[in-house]
Structure 1
Amino acid sequence: MLQVQAVYKSYATPQGPLAVLQGVDLNLEHGSSLALMGESGSGKSTLLHLVAGLDNVDRGMIRIGGHRLDQMNETQLANWRRTEIGLVFQQFNLISSLKVEDNLAFQARLAGRYDAGWQAQLIERLGLGELLKRYPEQLSGGQQQRVALGRALASRPGLLLADEPTGNLDEATSDEVLQLLLDLLNDSPTSLLMVTHSPRIAARLASKVVLHGGRLASAGAR
């Protein structure tokens, strides 16, 4: 599903180029889950943004399914993001002017993949049935993140990218949202790459890798 090979990324600073990723290799199997760990500044979010096609590599290859991201132009990347991946962030990023039911369907409709049956399953399994007519500001943090998960999964993406998706939630709510996510992934073909600083959360995923100083320091499977 995901292959990252010899990826380098640096950014210009007044003091000169800052190397963030220095030859990272990473693989994620179809239908599996992987936790990406590392201290602040290790390159976790940078790598996630590269895999999401939100930034370009300096050198190296990123292949997702049959697509080489490093060979695609901005228009191709935008179309690919709309149809092939789901994104979940620490900030819920719901559309404040849309009700829950419309937020849930937004990505799937944009991708031309709206499926009323799958939408109904997501609503039931995420416990959102009584919240459909509410607006995001009327929801708790845990409820908003459940809506964000449903929106990301509604188009049945091949890859779900999550950047600290439970970072704004208390531990009990975090565990609840994570369990809902893993249960849904077990019943779908979607693979998961999650950035997290929490060993407790990482232990729930199939495997993990640790970035240190822009390089892959270690990896392990559950």
Structure 2
Amino acid sequence: MLRVTQVCKSYVTAQGMLPVLRGVDLTLAHGESLALMGESGSGKSTLLHLIAGLDRPDSGSIEVPQGHLETRGEPALAEWRRSGIGLVFQQYNLIPSLPVGANLAMQARLAGRHDPVWVEAIARRLGLAELLTRYPEQLSGGQQQRVAIGRALAARPALVLADEPTGSLDEASSATVFDLLLELVADTGAGLLVVTHSARLAQRLSRQVVLQHGRVLSGSA
């Protein structure tokens, strides 16, 4: 499903080059879930963005079923983001001018895989069936994150990437939303890669990997 091999990434700063990833190796199988952990600045979000095709590695390879991302042009990367993956961010990133129903269906429509029956099932399971005509500003944080999860899964992607998906929620809402994410991902058979600071949430996934100073800690699995 996903193979990351010796990936390195640095950024230019006022103080010079800042290495963020220093030869990261990572694999994820179909239907497997993986928690990516580490302190702030360890490179977790950077790695997620590279896998999503939002940025390119300086060296190394990122292999997905469609091929190697680092060799693909922008149109191919856009297609990967549109139909190959589902993205869930802490900030929700909903479109404020669209009601919940349209937000849920947006990713699937872009991917050309809109299934009204599946979207309706997602809305029902996420507790959104009565909120489809409301706008994001009319929802609580937990409800907005449920919409973001539903949008990511509506196109039945092969890989779901979640960056601190419950980081802005209280503990009770976080547990509920995470439960729903795991249930829906399991139903689709997608691989799931979650960036999280929470050891409690990480333990619920198949494996845990720890990044430290841009490298995977030996022994983490």
- Verify same fold: TM over 0.5: yes
Residue in 1 that maps onto 2:164:
164
Residue in 1 that maps onto 2:4:
4
User: Letter of the aligned partner of 1:12 in structure 2?
Assistant: V
Residue in 2 that maps onto 1:32:
32
RMSD (Å), alpha carbons? 1.0
Residue in 1 that maps onto 2:145:
145
User: Letter of the aligned partner of 2:161 in structure 1?
Assistant: L
8 A Cα contact 2:210 2:220, kept in partner: no
CA distance, structure 1, for counterparts of residue 177 and residue 219 of structure 2? 25
CA distance, structure 2, for counterparts of residue 67 and residue 154 of structure 1? 23
- CA-to-partner distance for each residue in 1:166-210, whole Å, 9 max, x for gaps? 001000000000001111112112111010011011011111100
What is the DSSP-based 3-state SS (H/G/I as helix, E as strand, rest coil) of the residue aligned with 2:188? coil
User: Letter of the aligned partner of 2:145 in structure 1?
Assistant: Q
Question: Which stretch has the larger CA shift, 114-123 or 143-152?
Answer: 114-123
What is the DSSP-based 3-state SS (H/G/I as helix, E as strand, rest coil) of the residue aligned with 1:26? strand
Residue in 2 that maps onto 1:111:
111
For residues 92-107 of structure 1, the aligned pairs below 5 Å read 92-107=92-107
CA distance, structure 2, for counterparts of residue 137 and residue 12 of structure 1? 37
What is the DSSP-based 3-state SS (H/G/I as helix, E as strand, rest coil) of the residue aligned with 1:104? helix
| Structure 1 alignment gaps of length 5 or more | none
Deviation at 1:66, TM superposition (A): 3.1
- CA-to-partner distance for each residue in 1:96-151, whole Å, 9 max, x for gaps? 00000000001100110001111111011111111011000000000000000000
Residue in 1 that maps onto 2:201:
201
TM-score, normalised to structure 1's length?
0.97
CA distance, structure 1, for counterparts of residue 88 and residue 66 of structure 2? 23
- CA-to-partner distance for each residue in 1:146-173, whole Å, 9 max, x for gaps? 0000000000001000000000100000
User: Letter of the aligned partner of 1:91 in structure 2?
Assistant: Q
Change (3 A) 1:175 1:6: same
TM-score, normalised to structure 2's length?
0.98
What is the DSSP-based 3-state SS (H/G/I as helix, E as strand, rest coil) of the residue aligned with 1:204? coil
For residues 41-190 of structure 1, the aligned pairs below 5 Å read 41-190=41-190
8 A Cα contact 1:7 1:59, kept in partner: yes
Identity of aligned residues (%): 64
CA distance, structure 1, for counterparts of residue 220 and residue 212 of structure 2? 15
Deviation at 1:14, TM superposition (A): 2.1
Residue in 1 that maps onto 2:14:
14
Change (3 A) 1:34 1:131: same
Change (3 A) 1:14 1:204: same
CA distance, structure 2, for counterparts of residue 67 and residue 134 of structure 1? 40
What is the DSSP-based 3-state SS (H/G/I as helix, E as strand, rest coil) of the residue aligned with 1:131? coil
CA distance, structure 2, for counterparts of residue 86 and residue 134 of structure 1? 23
User: Letter of the aligned partner of 1:87 in structure 2?
Assistant: L
Change (3 A) 1:3 1:148: same
Change (3 A) 1:143 1:77: same
Aligned length: 221
Question: Which stretch has the larger CA shift, 211-220 or 186-195?
Answer: 211-220
- CA-to-partner distance for each residue in 1:48-87, whole Å, 9 max, x for gaps? 0000000001000001123210110112111221111010
8 A Cα contact 2:3 2:64, kept in partner: yes
Deviation at 1:218, TM superposition (A): 4.3
CA distance, structure 2, for counterparts of residue 45 and residue 183 of structure 1? 24
